[in-house]
Amino acid sequence: MPRRFRTGDSGFEADFAALLDDRQETADSVDTVVADIIGDVRRRGDAALLDYTERFDRLTLTADELHIGPDRLHEAVGRCPPSQIAALEKAAARIADYHRRLLPEDLDYTDAEGVRLGARWTPVDAAGVYVPGGKAAYPSSVLMNTVPAKVAGVGRIAMTVPTPDGEINELVLAAAHIAGVDEVYRVGGAQAVAALAFGTETIGAVDKIVGPGNAYVASAKKQVFGRVGIDLIAGPSEILIVADALNDPKWIAADLLSQAEHDEVAQAILITDSAEFAEAVERAVAVHLQRLARTEIAARSWADHGAIIVVDDLDDAPSLVDRLAPEHLELAVEAPEAMAARIRHAGAIFLGRFTPEAVGDYVAGPNHVLPTSRTARFSSGLGVQDFLKRTSIIACDAGGLGRIGPAAVELARAEGLDAHALSISIRLDGEGADAADTARRRR
């Protein structure tokens, strides 16, 4: 049974604080194992990848077999049901359209003191995408992680996907073809992240690594950060639903289970102002669980990490939402826009009774790679800007430097950085200006 809270109870604050700390785990042992794997891949390259693939994926390969060529990706499209290919193509088009609208514009202006300032956006040269493989593969994640990179203009996208026991998910390969992935390699785990970060004889190093994975993949991304950029360190999936009693409890129950079925440590939380509605949702969850393919996983998640919070008034919900800072937030209430305006911290907000979170996982357009574990307080979901870099542009002529330079000289001297001050004052004093004019005339 999920935990039940009521805001008016004397122990609510303590119970809510415990809920905020739920699923916090130490991973020292994982970090140590991953550090050893990363070091081994750096030293031995392909040989280490092949050894780990045999050990963890029970698959013996040669270095030549690590790469999955473009012909094989195209072939995968023909091996999948046409309806699934059509769904992938629709999703890819919607994701691309949304992320194109997020592209930032370059900046170029001259301020009141005659100094030209600007900013230029350029894509990273190469991005690596980690995709889980085997039976737990998610073609939608291929699109969500690669389409924004393509929209950003990344020149090379390399994807790694494990194939445990030689099992290849055809729809994952088809998604890679549809998204325009340049290179695909059949390797997974921390060793794949290490290969993307440092390069091997077969896999070229990239500049940024994105994509979901287990605790070992998350640890590897954390450890290679600095050598390469990463998207975020994602934890188990989570959903928070604010719902009034006007909803069909069966709908809300299904939405809660849509995230609970991901993982035993996923978290689903309901906030409502009706105890009777909360009980109806619980009953509906029990009914739905009887027919899900992933019943055991969803039931464990709901029992161990699920929660129902009954508030006296739904006006109290936004403050609780901000404290939870959920990955996914559904507002199934009469005025969802008004409530959303009062909420600051959420990875993605789904407005109204006909916007289940699951539509965002596939075809809505915004990215489903979102901050978890309350990190929505300070971070955002994956987007096109994650594959871009901003370069500042500054240009002064003599007049502009004359107007702003003295202040810079003053600050440099205050900090004891005499060469900084000199590099500006020498120009303000006109030293070398005549020589520059003479050189220009000679050219």
Secondary structure tally for the chain: helices H, strands E: 18, 15
- CATH number at 411 reads 1.20.5
Look at 161 and 5; give whichever has higher pLDDT.
Answer: 161
Model confidence at 56, pLDDT cuts 50, 70, 90, reads: very high
Residue 290: what are its φ and ψ, rounded to 5°? -70, -15
CB 276 within 8 A of CB 238: no
Average pLDDT over residues 361-375: 96
pLDDT at 139 (0 to 100): 96
User: Coil, helix or strand for 253?
Assistant: helix
Q: Is the pTM of this model over 0.85?
A: yes
pLDDT at 22 (0 to 100): 78
Is pLDDT of 25 > 60?
Answer: no
Domain enclosing residue 157, as ranges: 28-105+122-234
Cα gap 108→105, rounded to integer Å:
10
Statement to judge: residues 279 and 310 lie in one domain: yes
CB 21 within 8 A of CB 10: no
Average pLDDT over residues 239-261: 97
In 3D, which of 200, 129, 187, 196 has the Cα closest to residue 161?
187
Q: Which residue among 186, 219, 234 closes a domain?
A: 234
Model confidence at 260, pLDDT cuts 50, 70, 90, reads: very high
User: Can 328 be counted among the known catalytic residues?
Assistant: yes
Q: Which residues contact 172 (CB under 8 A, 6 or more apart)?
A: 131, 133, 137, 138, 139, 142, 161
CB 49 within 8 A of CB 154: no
Statement to judge: residues 174 and 191 lie in one domain: yes
Q: Residue 207 domain-assigned?
A: yes
pLDDT at 430 (0 to 100): 79
Is pLDDT of 390 > 80?
Answer: yes
Catalytic residue among 328, 330, 357, 368: 328
Q: Which residue among 234, 265, 293 closes a domain?
A: 234
Catalytic residue among 183, 261, 327, 330: 327
Q: Count of CB atoms within 10 A of residue 28's CB? A: 8
- Considering only 134-148, 154-168, 339-353, which range has the smallest mean pLDDT? 134-148
Average pLDDT over the chain, rounded to whole?
A: 94
pLDDT at 441 (0 to 100): 57
Q: For a pLDDT cut of 90, what percent of the chain falls above it?
A: 88
Statement to judge: residues 220 and 255 lie in one domain: no
CB 286 within 8 A of CB 279: no
pLDDT at 435 (0 to 100): 53
Q: Residue 346 domain-assigned?
A: yes
Number of domains in the chain: 3
Our CA angle for 46, 51, 56, nearest 5°, is 125
Model confidence at 28, pLDDT cuts 50, 70, 90, reads: confident
Q: For a pLDDT cut of 70, what percent of the chain falls above it?
A: 95
- CATH number at 63 reads 3.40.50.1980
Statement to judge: residues 163 and 228 lie in one domain: yes
User: Can 345 be counted among the known catalytic residues?
Assistant: no
Tens digit of each residue's pLDDT (9 = 90 or more) over 277-327: 999 999 999 999 999 999 999 999 999 999 999 999 999 999 999 999 999
Q: Which residue among 364, 381, 412 closes a domain?
A: 364
